[in-house]
Amino acid sequence: MWEYTEKVKDHFFNPRNIGEIEAPDGIGEVGSLACGDALRLTFKLDEDGRIKDARFKTFGCASAIATSSVLTEMIKGMSVEEAEKVTNKDIADYLGGLPEQKMHCSVMGREALEAAIENYRTGGRKKHKLEGRVVCNCFGVTEKEIVRVIRQNNLSSVEDVTNYCKAGGGCGGCRGEIEKIIGQVQNNKIKEAAVSRPAKPHRLTNIQKMQLIQRTINEQIRPALRAHGGNIELIDIEGDKVIVAFREMCAHCKVAEFTLKEVVESRLREFVSDKLYVEEDKQSQERHEHRD
């Protein structure tokens, strides 16, 4: 059970300004069914350029509906310039706060508002579009967006960033990257790192190397493959040769060769040793082909 404020409950059970304005001055859309929440925001201006009417349609949980409802209430009467300055924190504060894990709902509200304003100004981009380098592939979150939620909400851990914009919440493969971004933005005033990238060791005994390879596969490689319905198994280690077998979806995948080099080998080199190279176990490959 989530602990929602009375204001959140009020806006969820009695949402204001539901619907869509016909021939709106601005329209913004964000999210999708797959992501679990989506919002379509429309607004109309009066003669003085102030927001006269704003309406929403939302698919999502209680806090997604409440933030959408409250957003329409907040921006009514604002000029476009004023509306542009509304941050996700303003929306959350207006509701008397949101549970940490639900802060991404307030970010969704701000993104839809932004897209609607740009649509009003340029006539284009009614959909919230990705700008710049994508860091989280699962949820399609860019570096720019991550930097922004960190700045506006003074975030200091990867977990916070996931709560605010979903980045890192899927396969977890980008969590190291997010940690780096937090470090850059916050100038190394990180509270406590949720994911710590182990410094590459200088010298390893055979046993240590094997354990580190297994750990790297468990923590860095398998989660990324699992997110796509695949899996990997460590078969053997002979000197610097690491023999692995792909399972599930990966076993039938046409780009398995690419995954082997670009994902498995590069991660192992990054975390264990530059000398490592990876080969696929031929025997288990034959077995899988036999089954099909």
Partner 1 sequence: MKVIYFDNNATTQVAPEVFEAMRPYFCEFYGNPSSMHSFGGEVAGKIRQGREQVAHFLGCHPDEIIFTGCGTESNNTAIKGILAAAPGRRKIITSRVEHPAVLQVCRELENQGYTLVEIGVDKTGMLDMDRLEDEIDTETAIVSIMHANNETGILFAIDKIAELAASKGAIFHTDAVQGVGKIKLDLSASPIRLLSLSGHKLHAPKGIGVLYVKKGTRLSPFMAGGHQEAGRRAGTENVAGIIGLGRACELAGEYMDDENTRVKKLRDKLENQIINRCSDCRVNGEAQNRLPNTSNISFEYIEGEAILLMLDREGICASSGSACTSGSLEPSHVLRAMGVPFTAAHGSIRFSLSRYNTEEEIDYAVEKIPPIIEKLRRLSPFTAE
Q: How far is the CB of 109 from partner 1 (least distance, A)?
A: 14
Q: Could you tell me if 164 and 155 are in contact, meaning their C-beta atoms sit under 8 angstroms apart?
A: yes
173 binds partner 1 (CB under 8 A): no
218 binds partner 1 (CB under 8 A): yes
Encoding tokens for residue 291?
A: 């089954």
Q: Which is nearer to partner 1, 193 or 227 (CB)?
A: 227
* 79 DSSP β-pair partners: 50
Q: Could you tell me if 115 and 103 are in contact, meaning their C-beta atoms sit under 8 angstroms apart?
A: no
Encoding tokens for residue 248?
A: 């599930």
- Among 29, 118, 143, 280, which residue sits at the site for partner 1 (rule: CB under 8 A)? 29
Query: How many residues line the site for partner 1 (CB under 8 A)?
Result: 48
Q: x/- contact string, 33-72, with partner 1 (CB under 8 A)?
A: xx-xxxxx----------------xxxxxx-xx-------
Encoding tokens for residue 9?
A: 């409950």
78 binds partner 1 (CB under 8 A): no
Q: Which is nearer to partner 1, 62 or 256 (CB)?
A: 62
169 binds partner 1 (CB under 8 A): yes
| Active-site annotation holds for 171 | no
Q: Please state, in angstroms and rounded to a whole number, the distance separating the CA atoms of residues 270 and 287.
A: 31
Q: Please state, in angstroms and rounded to a whole number, the distance separating the CA atoms of residues 203 and 66.
A: 55
Encoding tokens for residue 230?
A: 């695949």
CA distances to 228, 229, 252 from 249, rounded to whole Å, are: 8, 6, 6
The residues annotated with a catalytic role in the active site are 35, 105
Residues that bind partner 1 in the complex, under the rule CB under 8 A: 2, 12-13, 15, 18-20, 29, 33-34, 36-40, 57-62, 64-65, 101-104, 138-139, 162-166, 168-171, 214, 218, 222, 227, 231, 233-234, 247-248, 291
